[in-house]
Amino acid sequence: MIAKKILVGVDDSPDALLAFKYAIHQAKRDQATLVIVSILESQNMNVYQVLDTDFVHGEYAALKEHLRDYQKQAQDAGVSDVQVMVSEGEPGETMVKDVIPRVKPDLLIIGSIAKQGVSRHFGSQAAYMAKYAPISVLVVR
């Protein structure tokens, strides 16, 4: 399968970093657009942080800036069209119900184990995305 647009989810976990490296390789091979996304998980914030719009906007801006490092790595590796995106919510559900419909990728590449959050301990976000995503999903570990 040749993908025209590849979506990769990153959270700095070892598995997500492997997924990112694989996504770079796939995007170069297919001459595809690479969209790098990270999900700001509000369940990891306390109620005061969630209600503080300055805090949430600061977290969002910091995450978007961090994604610029990923973007530069992909560009330096030879991927010509690299985009970044931050979304907010529960990772699996947000990816399936919000990010994929907006981005319209051909392929989703994700790591098998999350770095943090409740999802790391109570079920696999990767399994959720693999089951419910309307596109092909490649889980890397």
Q: Please give the pLDDT value at position 118.
A: 46
Q: Where do the structural domains in the chain lie, given as residue ranges?
A: 5-140
Q: Please give the pLDDT value at position 48.
A: 40
Report the topology of domain 5-140. Answer: Rossmann fold (3.40.50)
Q: Please give the pLDDT value at position 49.
A: 42
CA 35 to CA 52: how far, in whole Å?
A: 29
| pTM score of the predicted model | 0.85
Q: Please give the pLDDT value at position 47.
A: 44
Angle 21-2-5 (CA atoms, 0-180°, nearest 5)? 65
Run means of pLDDT, 10 residues per run, the chain, 141 residues: 94 93 98 95 50 51 91 98 93 96 97 63 75 96 85
